[in-house]
């Protein structure tokens, strides 16, 4: 269900569990030819999916340990600082007869902005 449909039904903000419930309800209404055994099998599969979804949400809500955050940030900074030295030979070959400092600086800056923004969102 989209946000508007969920609001009309009175279910508030749509959740993954609401999506699973909509799938189960839609399958039972749209597939009337299912036998009882097939319907029970479908509900068992959806129950298993809901259990796995609950495990994923538990992992999502668990805070990231401080040591892991620090290690990740240090590794990211070290990688970004050493990246120009690794890219310079590759970009020098691509720019035959030209100085590759400009593309290296631009590439590292762009990658740094992307990775640091991802890290900022993740923490």
Question: Residue 23 and residue 34: Cα distance in Å, rounded?
Answer: 15
Task: Dump the DSSP string for 63-100.
Answer: PPPHHHHHHHHHHHHHHHHHHHHHHHHHHHHHSTTS--
pTM for the full model?
0.45
- The domain ranges of the chain are 3-61, 66-122
Distances in whole angstroms, Cα of residue 35 to Cα of each of 54, 63, 69: 28, 44, 51
Contact indicator for 109, 84 with CB cutoff of 8 Å: no
Question: Residue 92 and residue 101: Cα distance in Å, rounded?
Answer: 8
Residue 87: name the closest of 108, 116, 110, 56 by CA.
Answer: 108
Q: What confidence tens digit (pLDDT) does each residue in 4-46 have?
A: 555 445 556 667 777 778 887 777 777 778 788 888 888 888 8
Q: What confidence tens digit (pLDDT) does each residue in 54-85 have?
A: 888 888 888 888 888 888 888 888 888 888 77
pLDDT of residue 8: 47
User: Is the predicted pLDDT of residue 96 greater than 70, yes or no?
Assistant: no
Q: What confidence tens digit (pLDDT) does each residue in 111-120 have?
A: 888 888 887 7
87, two tokens? 């890219």
């Amino acid at each position: 269900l989209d946000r508007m449909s969920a609001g009309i039904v009175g279910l508030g903000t749509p959740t993954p569990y609401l999506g699973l419930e909509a799938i189960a309800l839609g399958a039972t209404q749209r597939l009337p030819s299912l036998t009882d055994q097939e319907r029970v099998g479908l509900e068992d599969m959806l129950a298993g999916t809901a259990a796995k979804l609950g495990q994923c949400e538990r992992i999502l809500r668990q805070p990231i340990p401080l040591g892991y955050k620090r290690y990740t940030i240090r590794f990211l900074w070290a990688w970004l600082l050493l990246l120009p030295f690794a890219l310079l030979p590759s970009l020098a070959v691509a720019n035959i007869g030209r100085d590759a400092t400009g593309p290296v600086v631009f590439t590292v800056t762009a990658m740094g902005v992307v990775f640091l923004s991802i890290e900022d969102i993740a923490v």
